[in-house]
Amino acid sequence: EIVMTQSPATLSVSPGERATLSCRASQSVSSNLAWYQQKPGQAPRLLIYGASTRATGIPARFSGSGSGTEFTLTISSLQSEDFAVYYCQQYNNWPGWTFGQGTKVEIK
Amino acid sequence: QVQLQESGPGLVKPSETLSLTCTVSGGSISSYYWSWIRQPPGKGLEWIGYIYYSGSTNYNPSLKSRVTISVDTSKNQFSLKLSSVTAADTAVYYCARDEGYYGVWGKGTTVTVSS
């Protein structure tokens, strides 16, 4: 099973600042990597797929990069609505697609 | 656009079978894979399994012995059964459209395992 490791566990950022979230795979997942945002009491929302393609309706301040085992989600200028938990997920290697444990982005 | 809605009992007794249904509206269940994903309180996301509209399935190896996912294309629904539940199966259960990634999710339903 591919293990996805996200860092940091918690990221404290001021509104308007840049946030950089990392996700590492225990073996290569090519570019088959997605990012999700989850707010309390809500289902996750797809932000990025294919490591760098924004999903429909996702603002341009969200960007994804990386391939193989190292991936990054960047939020260029944090808005109040961006404070949430973010998950990465690989969909390259079987058995079973796997998620990271999440990074919580909180207000500094 | 496609919407998903989970339904089923919110409380299940230990050792019994958890049963949930996901209804797909605004589109056809055909030509896609459909997954169940769960999230224990305060924890991360765990994929449970998927089903193709034709009926082929694949399950998380850690749950495989207890999971059955089925589809009813006439009702545009797919269902989850998880047997021999324990408190560790308490979670929010989501259904989602599976394209490798999950672009469409239900709102989730909370299932508590307790006597």
- Distance (Å) from the C-alpha of residue B103 to the closest C-alpha of chain A? 5
Confidence class for position A95, pLDDT limits 50, 70, 90? confident
Place of tokens 């797809």: A46
The answer to whether A36 contacts B102, with C-beta atoms less than 8 Å apart, is: yes
Average of per-residue pLDDT across A28-35: 97
The answer to whether B47 contacts A91, with C-beta atoms less than 8 Å apart, is: no
∠ CA B2-B5-B9, rounded to 5°: 170
Average of per-residue pLDDT across B35-47: 96
Mean pLDDT, rounded, of chain A = 96
Question: What pLDDT sits at residue A94?
Answer: 76
